[in-house]
Amino acid sequence: MTTIKKISKKQILRAVEELNKGKLISFPTETVYGLGAEATNDVAIAKIFKCKNRPKFNPIIAHFSTIKEIENHCEVSKEVKRIGLKFWPGPLTIILKRKKSSSLSLLLSAGLDTLAVRIPNNKVALELISNLKSPIAAPSANKSGFLSPTKANHVYNYFKNEKDLSLILDGGQTSVGVESTIITFEKNQITILRHGGITKEDLETKLTYKVVDRSNQKNQKIISPGLTQNHYSPSVPLRINAKRANKDEVLIGFGPKFKEPNLSKSGDLTEAAANLFSLLAKLEKEFKKIAITSIPEKGIGKAINDRIKRASNN
């Protein structure tokens, strides 16, 4: 059962314990309340999509407590570090190239080779990350399509009957009240993908780089949370809604009727979502073609089907 608890050292440690168990917690940042999962846990991150009724696998922001921690998982140039030192902790998210050695969930990246990262300017959030000793994956703690929460009771109203969300840490009203600004940095140019707590003028005043606003540009390749995303495709042909494998294919099953490889032998859609990207990434290295059986079009199954349909050659 979901409960709201006032901030204390005891409750922060309890939240860390819940995250380590693969549970979800909600916590305040300076922007809005986040719906958090331990960032290496595929199943926990799949629960985020399920809880939010998120119809597609869009990237999720990874929250860190230091730039050094970000460097463990991403390629951070001296220019990006300069930007980070100006605006972190704070409401700025930067899309960075993911290191192949990163242990963070592929579901967090939505199958892309990038990660959306930031350091929140909130004492509770930073204590959580430091005590967890791992980044926290966290989109806004609301149902998809609804208003982002700026108070703990907003989160409770969305998720009070959600068994996967055990704890909401009440840190009062958030100070910024809108999501983080999302940018990329390439060729000495900052590109704004989503407006938020850091303005274009803030970036131009504190930095010497050219700043371009592409937040409203249509038909662009989007790699950012909170936007329609250009979806990942495996490097080999993918056939969907298959009942059996052709001679030159490997079949990915779902449910007890299928052998391995199988997204979930028990037919659990959350487990299937958690396994999707890692299984595709493994099999594309081993086989020339992949087929995947039909997935029920319900709950998080809708997000799975959206992903594989976009990635397929059907």
Q: Which regions of the chain carry the CATH code 3.90.870.10?
A: 3-213
Measure the CA–CA gap between 171 and 247, rounded to whole angstroms. Answer: 58
Q: Which CATH code fits 238-311?
A: 3.40.50.11030
Q: What digits encode the pLDDT tens for the residues 111-122? A: 888 999 999 999
What are the tokens at 198? Answer: 């850091």
In the predicted model, is pLDDT for residue 295 greater than 90?
yes
CA atoms of 44 and 245, how far apart (whole Å): 31
Q: Which residue has the tokens 């994956």?
A: 137
For residues 183 and 191, give the distance between their C-alpha atoms in angstroms, rounded to a whole number: 5
CA distances to 8, 174, 313 from 292, in Å: 47, 44, 12
With a pLDDT cut of 90, the percent of the chain lying above it is 74
- The pTM assigned to this predicted structure is 0.86
**Residue 90 confidence (pLDDT) above 90:** yes
pLDDT for res 15: 98
303 within 8 A of 47, measured Cβ to Cβ: no
CATH 3.40.50.11030 location in the chain: 238-311
What is the per-residue pLDDT for 217? 66
Q: Which two tokens stand for residue 205?
A: 């005043």
Q: Is 127 left (phi over 0), alpha (psi -120 to 50) or beta?
A: alpha
Beta-carbon contacts of 179 under 8 Å, excluding residues fewer than 6 positions away, are: 31, 32, 91, 140, 148, 194, 196, 197, 226
Rounded to a whole number of angstroms, the CA Rg of the chain reads 20
| Amino acid 67: pLDDT | 98
The per-residue DSSP string of 3-58 comes to EEEE--HHHHHHHHHHHHTT-EEEEE-SSSEEEEEETT-HHHHHHHHHHHT-SS--
Tally helices (H) and strands (E) across the chain.
9, 14
* Phi then psi dihedrals of residue 126, to 5 deg: -65, -35
Torsion sign across C-alpha atoms 206, 68, 282, 262? negative
Range with the poorest average pLDDT among 118-127, 153-162, 225-234, 293-302: 225-234
* pLDDT at residue number 313: 54
Instruction: Give me the percent of the chain exceeding a pLDDT of 70.
Output: 94
Averaged pLDDT, 60-74: 98
- Would you say residue 14 has pLDDT above 90? yes
Do 171 and 122 touch, CB atoms closer than 8 A? yes
If one counts every other C-beta atom within 10 angstroms of the C-beta of residue 21, the result is: 11
Q: What is the mean pLDDT of the chain?
A: 91
Categorize the per-residue pLDDT at 249 as very low, low, confident or very high, splitting at 50, 70 and 90: very high
Confidence category of residue 13, pLDDT binned at 50, 70, 90: very high
**pLDDT tens digits, 172-211:** 999 998 899 999 999 999 999 888 999 999 999 999 999 9
Q: How far, in Å, CA of 187 to CA of 98, rounded?
A: 18
pLDDT at position 226 is 44
Residue 146 has pLDDT above 90, yes or no: no
CATH architecture of 3-213: Alpha-Beta Complex (3.90)
Pairing of strands 165-170, 290-292: unpaired
Sequential DSSP letters for 76-131: --HHHHHHHHHH-SSSEEEEEEBPTT--S-TTTTTTSSEEEEE--S-HHHHHHHHH
